[in-house]
Amino acid sequence: MIARVEVQPGRYHDSVRLMQASKVLQELPGIADALVAMGTELNLSLLADMGFDADAAAGAGPNDLLLAVRAENDQVMEAARLALEAALSAKPVASGGLDGPEPRTVGSVAARSDANVALLSMPGEHVFVEAMDALDAGLHVMIFSDNVPLEQEIALKAAASNRGLLVMGPDCGTAIVGGVGLGFANAMQPGPVGIVGASGTGIQELCCLLDDADVGVTHALGTGSRDLSESVGAVSTLQALSALDTHPPTELIVVISKPPAASVAARVRGAAAACSTPTVVTFMGETTIEEGAAEVLMRLGVPEPAYRSWDSGGGPVRQGTIRGLFSGGTLRDEARFIAMAEVGEVGTVETADGHCFVDYGDDEYTKGRAHPMIDQTVRLDRLAAAADDATIGVILMDVVLGYGANPDPASELTPMIQRATDAGAAVVVSLCGTRGDPQGRDEQAAALNGAGASVWLSNAAAAREAVRVFAATNGGTT
Amino acid sequence: MSDLDQLLDTEASVAAVGTEMLAAAIDQQGAAVHRADWQPPTPGTAAALARLAAGGSTAEANSTALTRMLAVRPQLTDVSTAIEVIPGMTERTFLHAGPPLEWERASGPTRGALIGALIYEGLAADPSEAEAIAAAGEIELSPCHHHSAVGPMAGVTSASMPVAVVEDAAGDGVAYSTLNEGLGKVLRYGAFAAEVIERLRWMQEVLGPVLGAALRSRGPIGLQSLIAQALQMGDDGHNRNRAVTSLFLREIGGALVDGADAPVTDRKAVFEFIDGNDHFMLNLVMAAGKLGSDAAAGVAASSLVTVMARNGTDFGVRLSGTGDAWFTAPAPPVDGLYLGAFTEDDASPDIGDSTITETVGLGGFAMAAAPAIVGFVGGTAAGAVRRTLAMYEITLGEHPAYQIPMLEFRGTPVGIDAALVVRTGIRPQINTGVAGKVPGTGMVGAGLVEAPMECFTEGITALAERLE
Amino acid sequence: MTAPAVEQAAPPALVEVPAVASLAVRALVAGRRRRFGVLGASTHAVWLDGGHDVLVLSTRDATRLPNSVELPFDADRALMASIPPGDTMQVGGGFVTGGPLTVRVVRWWDPRLVLAPVAPGVLERRLNGLPGEVPGIDSEPLACAIRARCPTGVLDAATELLGLGDGLTPEADDMVAGTLAGTRCLGHALGMRRSVAALDAVAPVLMATAMARTTTFSAALLRHALRGEVAAPAAAFLRALAGRGDVVAAHTQLRKVGHSSGRALAAGIVLAGRTLIATA
């Protein structure tokens, strides 16, 4: 073991750098002890405490660099010298940008940007805190997430309406604000219609029909699936309705929802009647979306088009029940409403007997995976099963296009559709999409059609077609 | 025109938080989307956070507490003696840093400092007698924070010590701190050798009286402006106080020459003592912070952090809205750089009230202003800037006086919100000195540490319970 | 002797940039592909001349014009600025392409302004104190003609002013554009159909005159103004005059646009408002 003490007069380094240099030395193999410090009294006494020859540093002052190393041998000592030089003369690493971390909270994004709407899609239990953050920052909020406790929805909507802000959701799948689609939304051109909707796919289907009639929208404001419940009391629906009523470019308003609580329905109808802008109220179950769209078009003086469809060519179809495989709850409800008028009871859960129309967007099927509009795994599995199930004659399914949805649903579905049609089943597709959708509406339709499916832009028309095929192959009603 | 009308008249600019897919869909539409790197809150806090948000009063309470914290105008008015000015002080009272503590649980540096203080006060003749007295419970241990005081490292303050008196020019608050002894073998790092006691005596007999007389003759020294200037000269207000100490010397210089009735050798010694100790102002910056901290305390429903303090055993946090409660967790080890042959094995866990600086927007929260200090954290200057930037995520405001030139004179992040800490998982950054764990050792290094999350989760839970 | 093979630098990757365009230029952008000449290019905008029509490729932080095709914030600005004047770009089929730039229009916005009805007295109060003239421009004959609801008078007065001043859009053109758009939009809001009809009557001739008397770009903006389509800050000012938004704030914002364009547009709108009220 050898020790060396050295004084380098007038060589100043700040104490931090010296500490780092000491650390570098101490970590070298073969070094027992090292001190790299300015020659202050404190450090000189430290030197003595460490057992170095203090006399060797006699006369060193606070402006002199003090080096003391105890090493195994000369070789290590030389290595230490080099390492020390390197450590003391190291050039700092280029500092790079002054970027902080990504914002972590809605409040932080709001403070750092010109955002005016927050789109929240974290797990429902965490939504409330972030949504309050957004409201505190003066942002409107769209809550895509579901599983937000009811009392939190009520509190949020109360806080928002006090501030003149809108809460769309929770469980709000779709909105179009100033042309920008939030959540699952179809590409819509600007136009005269303002939509207020408590159902995401309801808004999407309406958009899809209006677009086919070349009618655009100003805004489509979602309100969330529970907004028209007794306990929430349509807070967001009424706010959105009143805002669209005074929005000059909006020439006609549509309110679209599943059937609400009776008292709430009356309140919404009252508010709609009081609007100075013509307002169409469509409560599904009382009417279909297609009928709602027809009324809108009639009021605008636009002829109702024959909504596009792509015929399958109509080969022979095996006998059997109708199986509905849906990703949109509202589309399922509309189709079921239409079918039940013709074929009697249609179940909503998977069953071996009789007709059933299942919504695979329901919680039960989405635990731990993305919505079927994105991840079609479950529906593909059920489609395959239906293809192989000789008791099923007609498979009715929706395919929803637009922003946020699967980028190419047809490519995944066509092999299974082909399998079903090859096996003699009829496949009827309700295609919810607009001409501007990124998936390419007509390409998707053509691909689905090419696999043997008949494709209908109107969900109601698809349902009627399924019923028609069923009736034709089963010789009348069941 | 309402906000909703405004939304309908302009194009949406979206803060998309949660699923990336939905943010990407907005990008696809050529529209403005701003993302957050959202993470679930610290486990076990979701319900408490929701309750706070639902209470509806926390945002306003926090704003009130922060306004009060920032409204104080600390000025150094006097140097007196602990027993004369500190409330509740007795001859057998020994204040210490951090949350409440008993001798049995006391860390090495705290024990060392108590031994030194007992000898200094003449209550014990030697270390073993001092230990016996302390162990027998014959002295009263109490946190500085319970007496309008703060103390760095061990923070031990006893009756005869000279203390700085910092008063609020904009209110009636007063805060106290001991005077800084310098680095190395000093009482606050747990050293108690004869030279330590001797220096304390000199501070009591010369430094305190001379400074006190000088201050009384020249009038109070405003501390906020000194600290603000020092931040623009490369200080952070916690571990780099070279600029603020120099500025202080300029302020007091004239009065040292003609304002103190003391022998010129004493006045010279005082000048040299301050000049030779780059940390001299640390204690005064801390007392200034304590004024703000006390002013912000006691606002119901506020989740603002008023105190972060450690004693080498526990790390303690207090919130404005939870009264006198301390939320504690074991003091964490410091990720440090060590002096001489010392290693992390020699280090005491985190200790000292000096985290009051981080509580008021200095120290780790102002590191972007102090490029020369960044080696403490082992990184680059840009790294220090990022650390400061990260603190904006957990703070309620930006300091109007303390500005960071490198960030285009943005105010330092100030007003830690415990709710934001548990929401983001970002813990307050602290830079600190490191004391030796064996009583009597003194300083062994310096480094960086983050406040333990448990303090904040407990605090938020307790605050939420109070709202019920 | 043969030279060693040189590896060709790979051409820059073609990145498709999503863009948002004005419905007013949909026929151009979504229609048959045509060549447009590059009038000029900067880090914020590329001006494209299609002979009769002008398009502006601009980034979102630039002022949104009624003939804008708007690119996202993170558009490659250096790439935009590097496009040499005189180059051509292809416009049509929903795309604007040229050199390394491929812009796909994914969304449309409507530049037409629909204002809520407003009473003359209310509008007068909102216009109170706002400057309705631009130094050096005699706009009185134009105001006079609008007051008289005289189409030929409007035409003559506007013709006198066109092309006066410097810049891509001469100052007087901006003022005329403001007056025309203001007359149309505020005329609707005030329910003054005859004043609006006077504009319709002169529109075709005025446009032909503009093509001859001023820059292509300015003439295009005048055509939009005649239809009531204006730059976004002018739209916000008009909306505020009709009761949606703070008038002073919107006026201040508008006056900040460009070097003198915003001020001249604002003055034109104010002039139109006052003239209409005087007629009502």
Question: For the segment B180-192, what is each residue's pLDDT rounded down to a tens digit?
Answer: 999 878 999 999 9
Q: Nearest by CB to C107, which of A179, A246, A249?
A: A179
The values of phi and psi at residue B75, to 5°, are -140, 140
Same domain as C260, residue C130? yes
Six-digit token string for B237? 């207000």
Six-digit token string for C187? 């005329």
Q: What angle do CA B351, B356, B359 make, to 5 degrees?
A: 120
Domain assignment of residue C82, yes or no: yes
Domain assignment of residue A96, yes or no: no
Alpha carbon separation from C20 to A55, A62, A191, A333, B64 (Å, rounded): 79, 67, 16, 35, 44
Selection from A39, A32, A23 nearest residue B343 by Cα: A23
Residue B446 pLDDT greater than 80, yes or no: yes
Determine what percent of chain C is predicted with pLDDT higher than 70.
Answer: 93
What gap in Å lies between CA B460 and CA B52, rounded to an integer? 8
Domain assignment of residue C8, yes or no: no
Q: How many CB atoms within 10 Å of residue B138?
A: 11
Q: Nearest by CB to B14, which of A33, A117, A438?
A: A117
DSSP-based helix, strand, coil % in chain B, nearest 5: 45, 20, 30
Q: In angstroms, how far is CA A285 from the centroid of its own chain? A: 28
User: How much is the average pLDDT of B399-408?
Assistant: 90
Sheet architecture: strand order including A167-168 = A167-168, A140-143, A117-120, B13-17, B32-35
- Are A249 and C23 an interchain contact pair (Cβ–Cβ within 8 Å)? no
Domain finish residue from A89, A115, A132: A89
Same domain as C166, residue C52? no
Same domain as A225, residue A195? yes
Under the phi-then-psi rule, with left for phi > 0, alpha for psi from -120 to 50, and beta for the rest, what region is B72? Answer: beta
Residue numbers of the domain that contains A7: 2-89
Same domain as C126, residue C104? no
Residue numbers of the domain that contains C154: 120-279
Tell me the per-residue pLDDT of C230-252, one tens digit each, with 9 for 90 and over. Answer: 999 999 999 999 999 899 999 99
Output the domain CATH number for residue A408: 3.40.50.261
Strand, helix or coil for residue B160: coil
Q: How many domains does chain A have?
A: 3
Strands C15-22 and C101-109: what pairing? parallel
Give alpha helix (H) positions in chain C: 26-30, 77-81, 120-127, 140-147, 151-161, 171-190, 193-213, 216-226, 232-241, 247-255, 261-279
Angle between helices C171-190 and C120-127 (to 10 degrees): 150
User: How much is the average pLDDT of C30-40?
Assistant: 90
Same domain as C126, residue C261? yes
Six-digit token string for B266? 């004493």
Measured in residues, chain A has a length of 478
Domain finish residue from A62, A89, A116: A89
Domain assignment of residue C231, yes or no: yes
What gap in Å lies between CA B168 and CA B290, rounded to an integer? 11
Same domain as A114, residue A65? no
- Are B184 and A42 an interchain contact pair (Cβ–Cβ within 8 Å)? yes
Determine what percent of chain B is predicted with pLDDT higher than 70.
Answer: 99
Q: Which residues in A lie closer than 8 A to residue B11 (C-beta atoms)?
A: 178-180
Architecture (CATH level 2) of domain B60-68+294-467: Alpha-Beta Complex (3.90)
Domain assignment of residue C4, yes or no: no
* Amino acid A477: pLDDT: 44
Q: Of the given ranges (A73-87, B156-170, B403-417), which has the lowest mean pLDDT?
A: A73-87
What gap in Å lies between CA B420 and CA B436, rounded to an integer? 33
Same domain as A417, residue A280? no
Q: Which residues in A lie closer than 8 A to residue C115 (C-beta atoms)?
A: 248
What gap in Å lies between CA C199 and CA C181, rounded to an integer? 10
Angle between helices C247-255 and C261-279 (to 10 degrees): 140
Same domain as A431, residue A401? yes
Q: Which residues contact B361 (CB under 8 A, 6 or more apart)?
A: B395, B399, B402, B411, B412, B413, B414, B415
Six-digit token string for A352? 């071996």
- Are B9 and C70 an interchain contact pair (Cβ–Cβ within 8 Å)? no
Q: Which residues in A lie closer than 8 A to residue C244 (C-beta atoms)?
A: 248
Strands C45-49 and B351-352: what pairing? unpaired
Domain finish residue from C109, C142, C159: C109
Run of H or E including A381:
helix A377-388
What gap in Å lies between CA A359 and CA C101, rounded to an integer? 44
Task: Count A/B contacts: CB-CB distance under 8 Å.
Answer: 249
Domain assignment of residue A101, yes or no: no
Selection from B260, B112, B255, B93 nearest residue B187 by Cα: B112
Residues 29-68 (B) with a CB less than 8 A from some CB of C: 29-32
Domain assignment of residue C10, yes or no: no
* Amino acid C147: pLDDT: 84
Q: Which of A189, A219, A401, A439 to mutate to test the interface with C (most CBs of C within 10 A)?
A: A189
Q: Nearest by CB to B30, which of C106, C236, C243?
A: C106
Q: Which residues in C lie closer than 8 A to residue B29 (C-beta atoms)?
A: 18, 20, 106-107
Selection from B134, B207, B108 nearest residue B164 by Cα: B207
Domain assignment of residue C3, yes or no: no
Residue A176 pairs with which residues in a beta bridge? A181, A220
Q: How far is B19 from chain C (nearest CA, A)?
A: 21
Query: What DSSP string describes B324-380?
Result: T--EEEEPPPPEEEESTT--GGGBPSSEEGGGHHHHTT-GGGGGGG-GGGGGGGTS-
- Are A125 and B46 an interchain contact pair (Cβ–Cβ within 8 Å)? yes
CB B444 within 8 A of CB B435: yes
Same domain as C152, residue C125? yes
* Amino acid A95: pLDDT: 38
Same domain as A261, residue A150? yes
CB C267 within 8 A of CB C178: yes
- Are B5 and C244 an interchain contact pair (Cβ–Cβ within 8 Å)? yes
Tell me the per-residue pLDDT of B266-276, one tens digit each, with 9 for 90 and over. Answer: 999 999 999 99
Burial class (CB in 10 A: 0-12, 13-18, 19+), C20: buried
Tell me the per-residue pLDDT of C185-225, one tens digit each, with 9 for 90 and over. Answer: 999 999 998 888 888 888 888 888 888 888 888 889 999 99
Q: What is the pLDDT along chain A (478 residues), one digit of tens a residue?
A: 888 888 877 565 655 567 677 777 877 788 888 888 878 777 788 788 888 888 888 888 776 788 888 888 888 887 787 777 777 765 444 334 466 788 999 999 999 899 999 999 999 999 999 999 999 999 999 999 988 999 999 999 999 999 999 999 999 999 999 899 999 999 999 999 999 999 899 999 999 999 999 999 999 999 999 999 999 999 999 999 999 999 999 999 999 998 898 999 999 999 999 999 999 999 988 899 999 999 999 999 999 999 999 998 877 889 999 999 999 999 999 999 999 999 999 999 988 889 999 999 887 887 777 889 988 888 999 999 999 999 999 999 999 999 999 999 999 999 999 999 999 999 999 999 999 999 999 999 999 999 999 999 999 999 999 999 999 998 754 4
Q: How far is C259 from chain B (nearest CA, A)?
A: 24
- Are C107 and B29 an interchain contact pair (Cβ–Cβ within 8 Å)? yes
Q: How many CB atoms within 10 Å of residue C79?
A: 17
Strand, helix or coil for residue C57: strand
Q: Which residues in A lie closer than 8 A to residue C110 (C-beta atoms)?
A: 190-191, 249
CB A146 within 8 A of CB A158: no
* Amino acid B96: pLDDT: 98
Q: Of the given ranges (A332-346, B128-142, B379-393), which has the lowest mean pLDDT?
A: B379-393
What gap in Å lies between CA B70 and CA B295, rounded to an integer? 9
Q: pTM higher than 0.80 for the full model?
A: yes
Q: What is the DSSP letter of B189?
A: G
Q: What is the DSSP letter of B187?
A: G
Domain assignment of residue A250, yes or no: yes
Same domain as A20, residue A63? yes
Q: How far is A395 from chain C (nearest CA, A)?
A: 33
Residue C2 pLDDT greater than 70, yes or no: no
CB B290 within 8 A of CB B306: no
Selection from B435, B376, B111, B338 nearest residue A50 by Cα: B338
- Are A246 and C116 an interchain contact pair (Cβ–Cβ within 8 Å)? yes
Domain finish residue from C109, C136, C159: C109
Domain assignment of residue A277, yes or no: yes
Give residue A259's identity as a one-letter amino acid code: P
Q: Which of B11, B27, B33, B34 to mutate to test the interface with C (most CBs of C within 10 A)?
A: B11
What gap in Å lies between CA A123 and CA A126, rounded to an integer? 6
What gap in Å lies between CA C136 and CA B27, rounded to an integer? 46
Same domain as C147, residue C79? no
Handedness of CA B143, B144, B150, B155 (dihedral sign): negative
Same domain as A67, residue A122? no
What gap in Å lies between CA B247 and CA B251, rounded to an integer? 6
Same domain as C154, residue C233? yes
Domain assignment of residue C6, yes or no: no
Burial class (CB in 10 A: 0-12, 13-18, 19+), B122: exposed
Selection from A25, A62, A31 nearest residue A44 by Cα: A62
* Amino acid A85: pLDDT: 75
Domain assignment of residue C84, yes or no: yes
**Residue-wise over C158-180: b if at least 16 C-beta within 10 A, else e?**
bbbbbbbbebbbbbbbbbbbbbb
Q: Is B12 on the interface with C (CB under 8 A)?
A: no
Domain with CATH 3.90.1710.10 in chain B: 73-285
Architecture (CATH level 2) of domain B73-285: Alpha-Beta Complex (3.90)
Q: How far is A243 from chain C (nearest CA, A)?
A: 12
Same domain as C140, residue C82? no
Domain finish residue from C76, C109, C142: C109
* Amino acid B259: pLDDT: 83
Give the residue on B whose Cα is nearest the Cα of A48: B340
Q: Which of B5, B7, B421, B424 to mutate to test the interface with A (most CBs of A within 10 A)?
A: B7
Same domain as A282, residue A338? no
Same domain as A294, residue A327? no
Selection from B415, B432, B458, B417 nearest residue B332 by Cα: B432
Q: Nearest by CB to A136, which of B31, B59, B185?
A: B59
Tell me the per-residue pLDDT of C54-83, one tens digit each, with 9 for 90 and over. Answer: 999 998 888 999 999 998 877 777 778 888
Domain finish residue from A237, A268, A300: A300
Q: Nearest by CB to C72, which of B1, B6, B30?
A: B30
Same domain as A334, residue A256? no
Residue A67 pairs with which residues in a beta bridge? A6, A36
Same domain as A292, residue A354? no
Tell me the per-residue pLDDT of B71-84, one tens digit each, with 9 for 90 and over. Answer: 999 999 999 999 99
ipTM: 0.89
The values of phi and psi at residue A59, to 5°, are 90, -5
User: How much is the average pLDDT of B59-82?
Assistant: 97
Q: How many domains does chain C have?
A: 2
Same domain as A361, residue A466? yes
